[in-house]
Amino acid sequence: MDPCPYVRIVVGSLGLKFTGAGDVAPLSSAAYCKIKLKNYPTQFAEISYVADGDQNQINEQVQACFNLKKSEFDKVLKIEVYSGRKSKPVCGFGSGSGKLLGAVTVGLDSEAVEGGGGNRGCVVVRNGWVGIGDRSSKSMVNLHLSIRVERDPRFVFEFDGEPECSPQVFQVNGNVRQAVFTSKFSFRSNRDQNLRSDSSHSESNNSKSWLRSIQKDKEKLVKERKGWSITIHDLSGSPVAMASMVTPFVPSHGTDSVSSSNPGAWLILRPGHSTWKPWGRLEAWRESKHKDSLGYRFELLPDATVSGLDPVTLANSTLSFKTGGKFTIDMSNGASPMSTPNGSFGSGSSSDFEFGSWAHLMYQGFVMSTSVGGKPEVEVGIQHVTCTEDAAAFVALAAAMDLCVDACQPFSRKLRPELRHDGE
């Protein structure tokens, strides 16, 4: 099936300067901007002051990015520039206070969207200085920016149910849906083994002690979530990817929640030669300061046969337990989501990802995203899918991310039946 047509609007190379007589003091400390596109969350980016308009001082990094379907393409982008610093975002939503220095509205070229244009579907809309603010003022504020529109086709996969219900997975394009994978959720239980061990040990004790031992062990088992796994199969029944919980989700000492100091973890596995090969590691926890926020970190793991390579963090962000959001891996110019709306890319904050590392040889630009909460919908950039196993690995990662929401619920809450061991 053909991929779905998507579009990326990329904003970067932001800088500020004054021309004419005026007081530049407000800009010498800090400035930021709000980048607005209709029907999309506002994105925030810090802007540096460029002394004497020196082009070499401009940060070439991507500072905002909107990902949208071709049918959602809006042809107007607005950027508002403020003095001062934006306040620290909470669960991805930034706010700020400061004086409005000026604004610019940029018309977006739809040539890339319609399939025209050179540079393989990338059209540079604006690249250079533009005056903003009051043009009658003796001192003019100038904003340097670079905006481009790119075609970014993606494969889209939808779970036909929540991952713990072992749903089918469909590839979709518009109204067309085609089954491509099946999934199987399972978990191993050590209950029987633990109970047999306690029973054997208690034979030397009286019956009351034996009963207390069993009761205590049962309570301990409920205070951890472990052994969950979901296997992705192709339509022939062959396993093509797996997500396996390798570090139990347990409450930190004196609390009822999983903390960042002791997160639970999954391994995302791909088939190797008669074995499974680790591909990625996903950690998750409940944020201590913002109880409604799920924190997560995804690391790409190097091939075990290659020495001297360390894991590379590709995503490190938060999303809301109540409203869900999107888990996104986007390596445009070495930036990954850190503190953006619903965990999506665009704040300009850098993660632990090191631009130019071995991971950048494998993945560039938009990699994947998945909705979290409800039935996952997974988008994968077509350049990152060369075989069935490639797509399946991202599908398994999406399932694990969705299950983290349940694994990080307070332990005073009872999980849904599909996620509970027998007897819990």
At 81 the pLDDT is 93
In this model, does residue 203 exceed pLDDT 60? Answer: no
> Per-residue pLDDT averaged across 9-14, rounded?
92
Please name which of 3, 2, 29 lies closest in space to residue 16, comparing C-alpha atoms: 29
List pLDDT tens digits, range 144-180: 999 999 889 999 999 999 999 999 999 999 899 999 9
In this model, does residue 370 exceed pLDDT 50? Answer: yes
Q: Could you give the CA distance from residue 253 to residue 336 in angstroms, rounded to a whole number?
A: 32
* Contacts of residue 172, Cβ cutoff 8 Å, sequence gap at least 6: 4, 156, 157, 158, 178
Q: Could you give the CA distance from residue 411 to residue 420 in angstroms, rounded to a whole number?
A: 12
At 52 the pLDDT is 67
C-alpha distances out from residue 158 to 163, 169, 176, 377, 393, Å: 11, 6, 12, 5, 14
Q: What are the two backbone dihedrals, phi and then psi, of residue 176, each rounded to the nearest 5 degrees?
A: -95, 130
At 90 the pLDDT is 42
In this model, does residue 343 exceed pLDDT 50? Answer: no
Identify which has the larger pLDDT, 403 or 187: 403
Please name which of 309, 311, 316, 310 lies closest in space to residue 331, comparing C-alpha atoms: 316
Neighbours of 15 (CB within 10 A): 20
Neighbours of 259 (CB within 10 A): 17
Range from 42-51, 207-216, 298-307 carrying the lowest mean pLDDT: 207-216
C-alpha distances out from residue 279 to 291, 327, 405, Å: 30, 17, 22
> For residues 165 and 159, is the Cβ–Cβ distance under 8 A?
no
> Per-residue pLDDT averaged across 191-201, rounded?
36
Identify which has the larger pLDDT, 209 or 291: 291
Confidence of residue 345 (pLDDT cuts 50, 70, 90): very low
The region that residue 202 occupies, defined by phi over 0 for left and psi between -120 and 50 for alpha, beta otherwise, is alpha
Structure tokens at 309: 């390579």
Please name which of 239, 264, 238, 242 lies closest in space to residue 251, comparing C-alpha atoms: 264
In this model, does residue 111 exceed pLDDT 50? Answer: yes
Range from 16-20, 198-202, 212-216 carrying the lowest mean pLDDT: 198-202
List pLDDT tens digits, range 77-89: 999 999 887 765 4
At 336 the pLDDT is 38
> Per-residue pLDDT averaged across 369-382, rounded?
95
> Per-residue pLDDT averaged across 8-30, rounded?
72
At 53 the pLDDT is 59
> For residues 255 and 369, is the Cβ–Cβ distance under 8 A?
no
Three-class SS string for the chain?
Answer: CCCECEEEEEEEEEEEEEEECCCCHHHHHCEEEEEEECCCCCEEEEEEECHHHCHHHCCCCEEEEEEEEHHHCCCEEEEEEEECCEEEEECCEEEECCCEEEEEEEECCCCCCCCCCCCCCEEEEEEEEEEECCCCCCEEEEEEEEEEEEECCEEEEEECCCHHHCCEEEEEECCEEEEEEEEEEEECCCHHHHHHHHHHHHCCCCHHHHHHHHHHHHHHHHCCECCEEEEEEECCCCEEEEEEEEECECCCCCCCCCCCCCCEEEEEEEECCCCEEEEEEEEEEECCCCCCEEEEEEEECCCCCCCCCCCEEEEEEEEECCCEEEEEEEEHHHCCCCCCHHHCCCCCCCCCCCCCCHHHHHCCEEEEEEEECCCCEEEEEHHHCCCHHHHHHHHHHHHHHHHHHHHCCCCCCCCCHHHCCCCC
Q: Could you give the CA distance from residue 103 to residue 53 in angstroms, rounded to a whole number?
A: 19
CA-CA-CA-CA torsion sign (333, 299, 340, 232): positive
Pairing, β 43-49 against β 293-300: unpaired
At 62 the pLDDT is 86
Confidence of residue 122 (pLDDT cuts 50, 70, 90): confident
At 288 the pLDDT is 84
At 75 the pLDDT is 81
Confidence of residue 136 (pLDDT cuts 50, 70, 90): low
At 286 the pLDDT is 95
In this model, does residue 72 exceed pLDDT 60? Answer: yes
> Per-residue pLDDT averaged across 23-38, rounded?
73
Q: Could you give the CA distance from residue 378 to residue 158 in angstroms, rounded to a whole number?
A: 6
> Per-residue pLDDT averaged across 416-424, rounded?
76
* Contacts of residue 91, Cβ cutoff 8 Å, sequence gap at least 6: 290, 292, 293, 318, 319, 320
Report the range out of 185-199, 259-273, 327-341 with the highest average pLDDT: 259-273
Identify which has the larger pLDDT, 218 or 230: 230
Q: Could you give the CA distance from residue 199 to residue 211 in angstroms, rounded to a whole number?
A: 9
User: What percent of the chain has pLDDT above 70?
Assistant: 76
At 273 the pLDDT is 86
* Contacts of residue 220, Cβ cutoff 8 Å, sequence gap at least 6: none
In this model, does residue 245 exceed pLDDT 50? Answer: yes
